[in-house]
């Protein structure tokens, strides 16, 4: 039966452990996805000559630009682990715990898996089920010839950001750049969308098989005890160490009333091309990686501070915890920021509205094994995604 349209009930977003791997165990469905946008652009150079008004050819000189951005509700770190980030277990004070897709690292920070991850990138798959059918069903229905797939090959994450605010669910936004895209009319052992970056040709060493839907690491909304989403009322900010950086009290007694907090981990990359290949040989992260942590709050009490003294302050730390919704709440997600420096502090006051303050802090991520700088993440769901 032909589709009249495609809406969110019929779609699912999958990610692979490595672009070259295609078994069901090497792919996983992401949970709580809210949006997904993808596109490609081909840049061509017209060939003209004397004697002809119109071009005689249009050649591709630069690699095609394939882009993907998607968003999802924050849960317990499952999606982050599937994407290759390092997420340790909540309540564990060491950063040496690894899951299977980052086993080569003995220690590190949140972005470690992106700095030393698969050299060929990862693949994303957008699966569409038949018209009117939920992709996620209980019991799970195996993907087959009636499902279609759009594949995005050799993708590298270029940005990870989290937005938390009063009145909205904590949401993660991710962007990626890729080398190739394909579309197939079956979800059964289909063609890998990746390219062989050494040869600059289509990757043909293996086909792709995706796991059944609705098995997202125990995060399917119909599963008993699963976290459907995290709430803004369960967010706790510990900014004690940042009080000395601020002209207002931002933690403790009489502290400002935080309205929103945002985390940004940019992973911009430089494309490395070479003669003889139509596709990028690699996409390397641009260093230094400067992460930002922004807080917006309603001002309550100010404190005696001098900008001249703030300039002399050393680095600080901050903690952000989000509890689950169980009868006995426990941390579902924890972010820790090390080596923070204040970048800006701005006040806004006008007739009819509360006085607000916006603070922006930044820290830099070192190498994959750096445990003293950058962003660190812990999650309640710390078991390996790919086994």
Average pLDDT, the chain: 83
pTM of the prediction? Answer: 0.89
pLDDT score for 137: 80
For the cut 60, the answer to whether the pLDDT of residue 240 exceeds it is yes
Cα separation, 302 vs 342, whole angstroms:
17
For the cut 90, the answer to whether the pLDDT of residue 306 exceeds it is no
Which DSSP symbol is given to 252?
A: S
Other CB atoms within 10 A of residue 34 CB: 13
pLDDT digits (tens, 9 = 90+) for 335-387: 999 988 888 888 888 999 888 888 898 999 877 877 888 999 988 876 677 76
Please answer whether residues 97 and 77 qualify as being in contact, where contact means their C-beta atoms are separated by less than 8 angstroms. Answer: no
Spell out the residues 6+ positions from residue 293 whose beta carbon is closer than 8 angstroms to its own: 261, 262, 263, 264, 318, 337, 340, 360, 361, 362, 363
For the cut 90, the answer to whether the pLDDT of residue 247 exceeds it is no
Cα separation, 74 vs 380, whole angstroms:
12
Q: What is the DSSP string of 150-212?
A: EEEEEEEEEEEEEEEETTEEEEEEEEEEESEEEEES-SSSEEP--EETTTTEE--S-EE-PPP
CA distances from 6 to 3, 131, 132, 170 (A): 7, 7, 9, 26
């Amino acid at each position: 039966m032909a589709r009249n349209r495609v809406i969110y009930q019929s779609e699912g977003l999958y990610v692979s452990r490595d672009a070259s791997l295609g078994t069901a165990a090497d792919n996983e469905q992401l949970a709580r996805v809210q949006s997904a946008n993808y596109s490609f652009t081909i840049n061509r150079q017209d060939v003209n000559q004397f004697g002809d008004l119109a071009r005689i050819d249009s050649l591709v000189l630069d690699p095609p630009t394939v882009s993907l951005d998607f968003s999802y509700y924050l849960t317990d770190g499952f999606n982050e682990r599937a994407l290759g980030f390092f997420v340790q277990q909540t309540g564990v004070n060491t950063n040496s715990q690894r899951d299977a897709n980052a086993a080569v690292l003995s220690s590190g920070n949140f972005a470690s898996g992106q700095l030393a991850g698969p050299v060929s990138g990862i693949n994303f798959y957008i699966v569409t089920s038949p018209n009117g059918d939920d992709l996620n069903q209980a019991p799970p229905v195996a993907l087959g010839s009636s499902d279609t797939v759009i594949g995005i090959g050799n993708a590298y994450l270029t940005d990870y950001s989290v937005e938390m605010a009063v009145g909205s669910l904590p949401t993660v936004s991710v962007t990626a750049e890729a080398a190739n895209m394909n579309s197939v009319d079956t979800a059964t052992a289909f063609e890998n969308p990746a390219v062989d970056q050494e040869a600059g040709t289509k990757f043909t060493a293996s086909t792709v098989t995706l796991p059944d839907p609705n098995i997202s690491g125990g995060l399917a909304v119909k599963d008993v005890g699963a976290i459907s989403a995290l709430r803004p009322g369960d967010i706790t900010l510990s900014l004690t160490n940042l009080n000395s950086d601020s002209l207002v009290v931002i933690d403790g007694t009489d502290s400002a009333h935080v309205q929103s907090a945002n985390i940004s981990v940019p992973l911009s990359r430089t494309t490395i091309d070479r003669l003889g290949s139509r596709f990028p040989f690699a996409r390397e992260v641009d260093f230094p990686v400067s992460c930002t942590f922004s807080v917006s709050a309603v001002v309550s009490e100010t404190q005696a501070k001098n900008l001249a003294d703030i300039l002399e302050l050393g680095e600080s730390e901050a903690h952000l915890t989000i509890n689950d919704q169980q009868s006995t709440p426990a941390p579902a997600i924890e972010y820790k920021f090390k080596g923070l420096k204040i970048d800006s502090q701005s006040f806004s006051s006008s007739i009819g509205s509360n006085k607000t303050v916006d603070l922006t802090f930044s820290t830099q991520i070192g190498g994959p094994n750096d445990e003293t700088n950058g962003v660190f993440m812990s999650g309640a769901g710390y078991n390996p995604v790919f086994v």
